[in-house]
């Protein structure tokens, strides 16, 4: 299954499953579904629910 | 015996005060009624009297409140429509003030010095309304985003909707943020920097989004352009109805109203800075990166904007759910009183600079400092570092 990207609808920061979010203790390759529900956008603090999947690119 | 009754239910002790944020938006017709009743022209300055006099004084008299909603109560609290209606009411009342005030300026037969007072009173209403637009603009609900732009239109600050969420919240408490003030930077130096910088930032952020989505930058899909278009419609409509002489009046109140928002921006993050990680990115925004206050009166009129640390940590959280944090740096009084200090830079520096130095325990290399004086400031406070100066 190819890696997907999810973009914060508040500030446009992109979570790339391939890269993860190592600063928040989320290792590279972590699927979006496995990102903890209480994790929030590292740039603006928006909640995980405020992300939507990036269709292209 | 109900187990639920064993623990006292949390009550929002400001619950019935929130509509006051809407009522105060009627300051312009209230000033008119007082003028009518007494004949005293000073009432046209009611807006500045309330914002710069009554509210700071009331903050000192009424005091503060550190009451937080329990986390378990937050989801249901967020869903209560009552709190949203209190904010919608404020937008409606803002427009009553702007439209009635513009009509009064054109047709009231007032001398120029009363018209200036009237413009200042409208400016206080439209300036505080940027905060209303702020509360609405953080929501992902389309209606609220639309109302946010309506609330911003009288100050021509529609770009705040874009810049605040996608610019300020990302770069807050860093030297890159035009809306975070620096240690040693006076409000009067900050004002042009933030106004110009925020406008440029808003334009770039939105242009990037549109290009990414393959849409034209010059279209009404541009959130800056469609928000500014509301200002054009509002001001143009009022000019067509009341005559072109209302335009300078509207522009004056817009500028003063916007500068009221900017003075609040000035005091929210003064001197505070997020640390840079080894990879060049900044640490997450923490409670220690915003100045807070629990003064009740200002918190009611600004929808708990003063619980600023929680707002930056949880930007989509509604005002009624925002919490006080013990570890967040506290201002000596409410935002309303701090505004007065910000207008007087020597007094501001005298009161706030020692607080920033104490916050960083003398290690000013961790503060956000005006670049020209950065090295001198670090050297000057080095002896105050905990454990003495580092050789």
List pLDDT tens digits, range A13-50: 899 999 999 989 999 999 999 999 889 998 888 889 88
Q: Kind and range of the H or E element at B374? A: helix B374-381
For an interface test with A, give the residue of B134, B165, B207 to mutate (most A CBs within 10 A). Answer: B165
Count how many Cα atoms sit within 13 Å of the Cα of residue B285 in the half-sphere of its side chain.
Answer: 29
Inter-chain contact B165–A10, Cβ cutoff 8 Å? yes
| Shortest alpha-carbon distance between residue B362 and chain A (Å) | 28
Q: What percentage of chain B reaches a pLDDT higher than 70?
A: 97
Confidence of residue B388 (pLDDT cuts 50, 70, 90): low
β-bridge partners, B183: B369
Inter-chain contact B281–A23, Cβ cutoff 8 Å? yes
Does B391 have pLDDT greater than 50? no
Q: What is the ipTM of this complex?
A: 0.76
Inter-chain contact A50–B316, Cβ cutoff 8 Å? yes
C-alpha distance from residue B391 to each of B365, B373, B379, B385 (Å): 15, 21, 11, 11
Does B251 have pLDDT greater than 70? yes
Give me the mean pLDDT over the B156-180 stretch: 96
Predicted local distance difference test score (pLDDT) of residue A1: 84
**B262, B339 Cβ separation under 8 angstroms:** no
**3 state SS of B285:** coil
Q: How many CB atoms lie within 10 A of CB B265?
A: 23
Predicted local distance difference test score (pLDDT) of residue B3: 47
Instruction: Give the A:B interface size as CB pairs under 8 Å.
Output: 43
Q: Rounded to whole angstroms, how far apart are CA atoms B47 and B354?
A: 32
Confidence of residue B9 (pLDDT cuts 50, 70, 90): confident
Does A57 have pLDDT greater than 70? no
The chain B residue lying nearest A42, using CA atoms, is B284
Give me the mean pLDDT over the B42-51 stretch: 98
And the tokens for B104?
């009064």
Confidence of residue B318 (pLDDT cuts 50, 70, 90): very high
For an interface test with A, give the residue of B168, B169, B279, B318 to mutate (most A CBs within 10 A). Answer: B169
Mean pLDDT of chain A: 88
**3 state SS of B346:** helix
Is residue A53 within 8 angstroms of chain B, CB to CB? no
Confidence of residue B321 (pLDDT cuts 50, 70, 90): very high
For an interface test with B, give the residue of A11, A21, A54, A55 to mutate (most B CBs within 10 A). Answer: A11
And the tokens for A56?
């292209």
β-bridge partners, B369: B183
**Which member of B205, B277, B312 has the closest CB to residue A45?**
B312
Predicted local distance difference test score (pLDDT) of residue B337: 95
Which residues of chain B lie closer than 8 angstroms to A10, CB-CB? 138, 140, 165-166, 169, 315-316
As a whole number of angstroms, the longest Cα–Cα distance in chain B is 70
For an interface test with A, give the residue of B163, B206, B315, B318 to mutate (most A CBs within 10 A). Answer: B315
Predicted local distance difference test score (pLDDT) of residue B6: 56
Predicted local distance difference test score (pLDDT) of residue A56: 53
Inter-chain contact A10–B277, Cβ cutoff 8 Å? no
| Shortest alpha-carbon distance between residue A45 and chain B (Å) | 5
Inter-chain contact A45–B285, Cβ cutoff 8 Å? yes
Predicted local distance difference test score (pLDDT) of residue A19: 94
**Helical spans, DSSP H, in B164-245:** 169-171, 187-212, 223-242
| Shortest alpha-carbon distance between residue A1 and chain B (Å) | 25
pTM tops 0.90, yes or no? yes
Mean pLDDT of chain B: 94
Does B217 have pLDDT greater than 50? yes
Give me the mean pLDDT over the B54-77 stretch: 94
Inter-chain contact A10–B315, Cβ cutoff 8 Å? yes
Which residues of chain B lie closer than 8 angstroms to A50, CB-CB? 140, 316
Give me the mean pLDDT over the B234-246 stretch: 97
What are the two backbone dihedrals, phi and then psi, of residue B170, each rounded to the nearest 5 degrees?
-80, -40
Which residues of chain B lie closer than 8 angstroms to A9, CB-CB? 140
Residues 6+ apart with CB under 8 A from B143: none
Angle (CA) B62 B63 B67, round 5°: 115
Inter-chain contact B314–A9, Cβ cutoff 8 Å? no
Inter-chain contact A50–B140, Cβ cutoff 8 Å? yes
**3 state SS of B225:** helix
């Amino acid at each position: 299954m190819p890696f997907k990207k999810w973009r914060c609808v508040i500030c446009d920061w992109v979570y790339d499953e391939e890269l993860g979010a190592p600063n928040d203790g989320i290792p590279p390759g972590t699927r979006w579904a496995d990102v903890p529900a209480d994790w929030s956008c590292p740039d603006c603090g928006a909640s995980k629910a405020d992300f939507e999947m990036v269709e292209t690119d | 015996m109900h187990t639920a009754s064993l623990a006292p239910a949390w009550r929002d002790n400001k619950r019935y005060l929130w509509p006051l944020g809407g009522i105060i938006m009627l300051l312009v017709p209230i000033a008119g009624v007082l003028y009518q009743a007494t004949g005293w022209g000073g009432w046209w300055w009611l807006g500045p009297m309330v914002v710069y006099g009554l509210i700071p004084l009331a903050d000192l008299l009424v005091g503060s409140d550190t009451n937080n909603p329990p986390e378990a109560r937050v989801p249901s609290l967020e869903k209560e429509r009552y709190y949203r209606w209190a904010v919608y009411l404020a937008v409606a009342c803002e427009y009553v003030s702007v439209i009635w005030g513009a009509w009064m300026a054109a047709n009231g037969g007032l001398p120029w010095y009363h018209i200036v007072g009237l413009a200042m009173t409208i400016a206080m209403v439209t300036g505080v309304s940027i905060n209303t637009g702020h509360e609405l603009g953080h929501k992902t609900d389309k209606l609220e985003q639309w109302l946010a732009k309506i609330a911003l239109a009288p100050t021509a600050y529609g770009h705040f909707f874009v810049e605040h969420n996608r610019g300020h919240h990302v770069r807050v408490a860093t030297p890159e943020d035009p809306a975070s003030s620096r240690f040693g930077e006076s409000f009067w130096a900050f004002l042009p920097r933030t106004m110009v910088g925020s406008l440029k930032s808003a334009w770039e952020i939105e242009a990037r989004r549109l290009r990414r989505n393959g849409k034209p930058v010059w279209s009404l899909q541009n959130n800056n352009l469609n928000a500014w278009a509301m200002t054009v419609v509002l001001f143009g409509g009022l000019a067509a109805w009341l005559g072109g002489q209302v335009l300078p009046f509207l522009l004056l109140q817009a500028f003063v109203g916007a500068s009221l928002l900017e003075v609040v921006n000035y005091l929210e993050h003064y001197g505070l800075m997020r640390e840079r990680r080894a990879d060049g990115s900044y640490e997450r925004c923490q409670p220690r990166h915003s100045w807070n206050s629990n003064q009740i009166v200002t918190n009611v009129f600004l929808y708990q904007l003063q619980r600023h640390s929680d707002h930056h940590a949880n930007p989509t959280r509604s005002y009624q759910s925002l919490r006080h944090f013990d570890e967040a740096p506290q201002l000596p009084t409410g935002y309303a009183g701090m505004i007065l200090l910000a207008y007087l830079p020597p007094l501001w520096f005298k009161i706030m600079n020692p607080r920033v130095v104490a916050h960083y325990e003398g290690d000013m290399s961790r503060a956000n400092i005006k670049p020209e004086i950065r090295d001198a400031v670090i050297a000057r406070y080095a002896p105050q570092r905990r454990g003495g100066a580092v050789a």
